[in-house]
Amino acid sequence: MAKIPQDLRYTKDHEWIRMEDGVGVVGITDYAQHAMGDVVYVEFPEKGRKVRAGEDFAVVESVKGANDVFSPVSGTVLEVNDTLEESPELLNQDAYANWLVRLEVADPGELDSLLDHAAYAALLEELEAENG
């Protein structure tokens, strides 16, 4: 069963976001890393890039294939997680401890439209049911 921390917000595309001192910290969920399998490379956006909510702004490459990562909210890329450049496999070990990007969030109100942990858990249950 995939881990779903209570204090995060989620997207239907399996990203998470957490606000930390006014900055949005973004990553992929445990379900996502599990579905992708062994992660071998993360392609990050450039610092300073402006992204819209739902825009693909990073790519997580697993042995199986490339997976787009979509920004949960609009904002500007402040920082990317360099640790994953050297050790992308950390994403498979803990997808919540290993964030991808820190964002200056343009409109914190956008967070309200994201899924809370209960809604995300319900989504995963649906997916499980579909896939048997």
Partner 1 sequence: MKRTDMYERHVAAGGRMVDYSGWELPVQYDGTGIKTEHLNVREKAGLFDVSHMGEIMVEGPEAEKWLSTLVTNDIFVMRDGQVQYNIMCNESGGVVDDLLVYRYGPAKFLLVVNAANVDKDREWLTKHLPPRGAAIDDISMKTSETALQGPAAEAILAKVADFDPSTLKFFTFTHGANLGGIPAIVSRTGYTGEDGFEIYVPWKRGAELWDLLIEAGRDFGLIPAGLGARDSLRFEAGLPLYGHEFAEDLGPLEAGFGFFVKVDKPGGFIGQPALKRQKEEGLRRKIVGLRLEDKGVPRSGMDVADPSGNIVGKVTSGGYCPSLDANMALCLVGTPAPEEGDPLSVIVRDKPKKGVVVKRPFYARKRGNR
Pick the stretch among 45-53, 60-68, 74-82, 102-110 that binds partner 1 (CB under 8 A). Answer: 60-68
Nearer to partner 1, 40 or 111 (CB): 40
Size of interface with partner 1, in residues (CB under 8 A): 14
Compute the C-alpha angle 54/112/42, nearest 5°: 35
Residue 3 contacts partner 1 per CB under 8 A: no
Sign of CA dihedral 107, 95, 20, 85: negative
Query: Could you identify the residue written with the tokens 């401890």?
Result: 97
| Interacting residues of 27 by C-beta distance below 8 A, sequence separation 6+ | 15, 16, 95, 96, 98, 99, 100
Residue 128 contacts partner 1 per CB under 8 A: no
Residue 125 contacts partner 1 per CB under 8 A: no
Q: Which residues would be at the binding site for partner 1 (CB under 8 A)?
A: 34, 37-38, 40-41, 43, 59, 61, 63-66, 85, 92
